[in-house]
Structures are given as C-alpha cells and as structure tokens.
Amino acid sequence: MKNFHISAIAIAISFAFGSSAMAQTMSKSQYKSNKDDIAAESKSAKAGCDSLSANAKDICVAQVKGKEKVAKAELEARYKPSQKNTYDASVAKADADYAVAKEKCDDLSGNAKDVCQKEAKAAQTASQANAKAKMKTADASAVANEKSTKARQKADEKTVDARKDAATDKRDADYAVAKEKCDAFSNEAKDGCIAKAKKRYGIS
C-alpha cells in the first residue's frame, strides 16, 4: 500500500492554485490511460492489505479506497474543469479522510471512541463547508464578472451567505464534539460541561 502513488494525482494535484490549473486540459486518451492506472494501482494496493488483519486491515482498505476515489475525482476535474468538479474532488478528499479516521477510532472504546468519531465528523464537516463556500464564492464572482455592479453586489451577498453557512456548519460540528466529551462526566458536572459548551458555541 505504501507504493500506492497514483499518477493521476500528480497530474491533477494543483487545484489549490486556482484557474491557471483549471485552464489546462488533457486528451481523451490520456484521461482513459490515467483512469486505467488508478484502477490497476488501487487493485494492487488492496491486495497489499491482505497481509494485515483486524482493524489494521480495515484502515488499510479505507485508505486505499479513499485514495482511489480522490484520484478519480481529481482526474475528472482535470479532464473536465469546472467549479462543480473541483468541489466534488474536495468533498471526495474530505470523505476519504473521514472514512480512514473513523476506522482508526475503532481502536478505541467508550467515550474516547465516541469523541474520536465526533472529531472525525467535525473535520469532515469543516472541509465540506470550506469546499462549498469556495465553490459558491467562485460562482458568485463569475456572475459578477459578467454582469453589472448590481450583479456584483448580489454576488458579494452570496459570498457572505456562503461564509456564514460554512461557519454555522463548523460551529455545530465543533459543538457536537464538545458535547460528546461531556459524556465523560455525570450529573451536575455533565450539566455544567454542556452549559459551558453551549455558551462557547452560542447554542441556545
């Protein structure tokens, strides 16, 4: 599994660099070749997980599956550049990270496991929220560039709304983690812990 270096990732890795990366394209034959490489290398990596057992094997399989999904999503965004495909690639990365993190939580038990799972979910939610906000902001900017000042003002409003939505999603996820940690306490101590968490994250 350590040798699972998908060539398509190297080709499509530059999403963070903006529209210059989006402007590059690949031929249909290159796309098919890279897609075949992803499938072949993923199959080989999965076979490597067979030497493991128990949760170590589950984590290995989750890592391989996650890398495969991310590679496919990034390849698709490279082949057909669009804000939607870039967003899908970001979400694929968030989902892959979550799947692996969740499997790792199985090595724990009790409240520690519950907190681990909540933290993994919070990280996934934050990544998804960031990706969604970035896509909405890019779409709003595109509209603003094509239309009048009024359209730009509307685009700015959408950008603000997108960022607010992302902040709300992150806050709710972080509160869920804090609340889960309170389960380690009981009675008044637990109530006080939850009350403090609500105050910290502005939950009514």
The tens digit of pLDDT for each residue in 145-162 reads 666 666 667 777 778 878
Q: pLDDT digit string (tens) for 44-102?
A: 999 999 999 999 999 999 999 999 999 999 999 999 999 899 999 999 999 999 999 99
pTM of the predicted model as reported, rounded to 2 decimal places = 0.59
Whole-number mean pLDDT of the chain?
83
Are the CB atoms for 26 and 11 separated by under 8 Å?
Answer: yes
- Residues 101 and 17 placed together within one structural domain of the fold: yes
Q: Domain end: 38, 73, 107, which one?
A: 107
pLDDT over threshold 90, residue 12: no
Q: Domain end: 85, 107, 129, which one?
A: 107
pLDDT of residue 167: 84
pLDDT over threshold 50, residue 17: no
Q: Find tokens 């509160």 and name the residue.
A: 175
- Residues 159 and 103 placed together within one structural domain of the fold: no
125: domain range?
110-204
- Residues 55 and 77 placed together within one structural domain of the fold: yes
Report percent pLDDT > 90 for the chain.
Answer: 56
Q: Domain end: 51, 79, 107, which one?
A: 107
Are the CB atoms for 70 and 35 separated by under 8 Å?
Answer: no
Contacts of 192 (CB under 8 A, 6+ apart): 185
- Residues 141 and 62 placed together within one structural domain of the fold: no
DSSP readout, 53-117?
-HHHHHHHHHHHHHHHHHHHHHHHHHHS--HHHHHHHHHHHHHHHHHHHHHHHTTS-HHHHHHHH
CB neighbours of residue 36 within 10 Å: 11
- Residues 101 and 118 placed together within one structural domain of the fold: no
SS3 152: helix
Q: What is the number of domains present in the chain?
A: 2
- Residues 28 and 81 placed together within one structural domain of the fold: yes
Instruction: Give the pLDDT band (50/70/90) at residue 143.
Output: low
- Residues 23 and 7 placed together within one structural domain of the fold: yes
- Residues 40 and 117 placed together within one structural domain of the fold: no
